[in-house]
């Protein structure tokens, strides 16, 4: 038997000997400061025959805490018909270095249903004058449940106009108050086989949740879900009244809001404010316009004074986003409650504005008429 063959056998035995430590602690230390960590050991993966699972959120991390580089060999233990994928099978890990490797799992159509342990093993070695030496080994074990019954889920992430949105889509199995990830996609689409049960599917851009939908699926059931992902949001809407220094009456209200565009630039976009009083619409105005609306956050504010003056009662302020004239999204309305004794400030009543306008126009007309007569009189004298 060659040295390499003996090394692999010794490595497996050492890894199995260290397995108990790996099951107890998130980081299992081995000889020479070699260790494995990550959250793979926490998983209870339930997959039907013919299904697969891979997520960047489920991984192992290999550490080299020694003072010299080591050669790392990744191995796996799984039942027949099950494949574990950790990416590179062999690599060099520098002194003090670490490497994170997502763990994927594939279950063949003919895999035997049942409950199994699956294991990821990392073995480190280096060469010296005496040949190849084992530097250490460590492992993590997870639980795998293979089922024969399955349903099919098809998910699309769409904008309000029906265009595909390349969002991250995550599928979670619901077990009481806990969520366990069962599928992951970076394309905005998902087509998976899954065991019957209760789930929730979530669409995200970065850490921002765009949409989610809970559902249940049964044996041989096919479920199609379209997640409407709005990538522009109105956030942080607030209305703060400002009172006159004397009398404590409301003079105006300061509206603050933030537009958050998580994705691509949008064509002509208007930010509109709708105001209602006691449930009845009273005013609508454009707060700002963008052409285009670029990606990112934009905060703004507006000073509001009702045209008819402040009245006792409830005012609702709603900020909405319109893209090319069509409503795209809106924020929850924010209430400003005007109490008795506060409703003397604000703008002039409409009837008074009209009267003042008529008086001003009449005064201008009279002045113009007098000037014309004076000029005519002067011309006649000459």
DSSP 210-264: EEEEEEEE-TT-EEEEEEE---EEEEEEEEEEEE-TTT--EEEEEEEEEEEE-SS
Summarize the chain as % helix, strand, coil (round to 5): 15, 55, 30
Q: In what order do the strands lie in the sheet with 59-64?
A: 28-29, 34-38, 59-64, 98-102
pLDDT digits (tens, 9 = 90+) for 135-191: 688 899 999 999 999 999 999 998 877 888 888 999 999 998 899 999 999 999 999
Can you tell me the distance from the alpha carbon of 137 to that of 126, in angstroms, rounded to the nearest whole number? Answer: 12
pLDDT at 5 over 80: no
Residue 230 pLDDT exceeds 60? yes
Q: What single string gives the DSSP state of each residue in 17-75?
A: HHHHHHHHSSSEE-GGGEEEEESGGG-EEEEETT-EE--TTSEEEEEE-SSS-EEEEEE
Mean pLDDT of the chain: 84
Percent of the chain with pLDDT over 90: 57
What does the alpha-carbon distance between residue 274 and residue 333 come to, in Å, rounded to a whole number?
9
Confidence class for position 110, pLDDT limits 50, 70, 90: very high
Name which of 130-134, 160-164, 306-310, 313-317 the model is least confident about. 130-134
Q: pLDDT-derived band of residue 128, with 50, 70 and 90 as boundaries?
A: low
Is the model's pLDDT at 205 over the cut of 80? yes
Output the pLDDT for position 231.
Answer: 84
Q: CA separation (Å) from 156 to 50, 160, 188, 190? A: 22, 12, 6, 7
Pairing verdict, β 269-277 and 313-323: antiparallel
192 pLDDT band (50/70/90 cuts)? very high
Say how far apart CA 204 and CA 56 lie, in whole Å.
14
Q: Do domains 3-147 and 151-228 have the same CATH topology?
A: yes
Rg of the chain, C-alpha, whole Å? 35
Q: Distance between CA 121 and CA 249 in Å, rounded?
A: 73
Of 277, 202, 266, 201, residue with least CA distance to 233? 266
Which residue, chain included where needed, has tokens 């699309």? Answer: 156
What pLDDT score was predicted for residue 161? 74
Per residue in 14-64, pLDDT (tens digit) is 444 344 444 434 445 444 578 899 999 999 899 999 999 999 999 999 999
DSSP state of 161: T
Helix, strand, or coil (residue 168): strand
DSSP 112-144: PPEEEEEEEEEEEEEEETTEEEEEEEEEEEEEE
For residue 357, give the H/E element and its range: helix 350-381
**Which tops the pLDDT comparison, 26 or 88?**
88
Q: Is 8 helix (H, G, I), strand (E, B) or coil?
A: helix
pLDDT-based confidence at residue 354 (cuts at 50, 70, 90): low
Model pLDDT, residue 345: 45
pLDDT category of residue 66 using cuts at 50, 70 and 90: confident
| Statement: residue 91 has pLDDT above 90 | yes
Q: What is the mean pLDDT of residues 66-80?
A: 91
pLDDT value for 21: 40
Phi, psi of 51 (to 5 degrees): -105, 165
Class of domain 3-147: mainly beta
Bridge partners, residue 189, by sequence: 156
CA 231 – CA 269 distance, rounded (Å): 13
Residue 1 has pLDDT above 50, yes or no: no
Question: How far apart are the two ends of the chain, measured CA to CA in Å?
Answer: 134
359 to each of 16, 308, 348, 353, 362, how far by Cα in Å?
Answer: 97, 19, 15, 10, 5
CATH number of this structure's domain 232-338: 2.60.40.10
Burial label, 369 (beta-carbon count in 10 A; 0-12, 13-18, 19+): exposed
Q: What are the residue ranges spanned by the domains of the chain?
A: 3-147, 151-228, 232-338
Overall average pLDDT of the 361-374 stretch: 72
Pairing of strands 34-38, 28-29: antiparallel
Query: Greater confidence, 66 or 304?
Result: 304
Q: What is the pTM of this model?
A: 0.62
The structure tokens listed for 142 are: 């997870």
Q: Has residue 320 got a pLDDT over 90?
A: yes
Stretch 211-234: mean pLDDT: 93
The per-residue pLDDT for 263 is 78
Least confident of 232-246, 296-310, 332-346: 332-346
**pLDDT value at residue 136:** 80
CATH architecture type of domain 151-228: Sandwich (2.60)
More confident residue, 337 or 31: 337
Q: What average pLDDT does this structure show over 81-90?
A: 92
């Amino acid at each position: 038997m060659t040295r390499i063959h003996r090394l692999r056998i010794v490595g497996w035995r050492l890894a199995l000997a260290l397995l108990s430590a790996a099951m107890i602690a998130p980081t299992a230390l081995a000889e020479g400061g070699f260790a494995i960590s990550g959250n793979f050991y926490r998983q209870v993966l339930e997959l039907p025959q013919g299904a697969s699972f891979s997520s960047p959120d489920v991984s192992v991390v290999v550490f080299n805490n020694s003072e010299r580089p080591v050669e790392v060999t990744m191995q796996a233990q799984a039942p027949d018909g099950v494949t574990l994928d950790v990416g590179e099978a062999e690599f060099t890990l520098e002194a003090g270095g670490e490497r994170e490797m997502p763990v994927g799992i594939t279950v063949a159509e003919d895999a035997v249903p049942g409950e199994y342990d699956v294991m990821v093993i990392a073995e480190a070695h280096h060469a010296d004058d005496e040949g190849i030496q084992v530097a250490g080994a460590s492992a993590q074990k997870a639980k795998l449940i293979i089922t024969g019954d399955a349903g099919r889920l098809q998910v699309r992430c769409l904008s309000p106009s029906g265009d595909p949105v390349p969002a991250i889509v995550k599928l979670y199995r619901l077990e009481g108050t806990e969520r366990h990830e069962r599928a992951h996609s970076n394309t905005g689409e998902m087509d998976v086989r899954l065991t019957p049960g209760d789930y929730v599917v979530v669409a995200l851009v970065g850490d921002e949740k765009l949409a989610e939908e809970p559902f249940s699926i049964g044996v041989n059931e096919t479920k199609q879900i379209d997640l409407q992902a709005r990538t522009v949001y109105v956030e942080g809407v607030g209305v703060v009244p400002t009172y006159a220094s004397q009398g404590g009456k409301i003079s105006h209200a300061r509206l603050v809001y933030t537009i958050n565009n998580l994705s691509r630039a949008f064509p002509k976009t208007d930010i509109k404010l709708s105001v209602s009083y006691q449930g009845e619409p009273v005013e609508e105005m454009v707060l700002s316009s963008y052409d285009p609306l670029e990606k990112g956050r934009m905060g703004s504010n507006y000073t509001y004074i009702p045209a008819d003056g402040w009245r006792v009662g409830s005012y609702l302020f709603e900020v909405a986003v319109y893209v090319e004239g069509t409503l795209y999204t809106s924020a929850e309305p924010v209430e400003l409650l005007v109490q008795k004794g506060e409703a003397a400030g604000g703008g002039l009543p409409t009837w008074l504005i009209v009267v003042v306008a008529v008086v001003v126009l009449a005064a201008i007309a009279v002045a113009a008429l007098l000037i014309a007569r004076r000029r005519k009189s002067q011309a006649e004298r000459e």
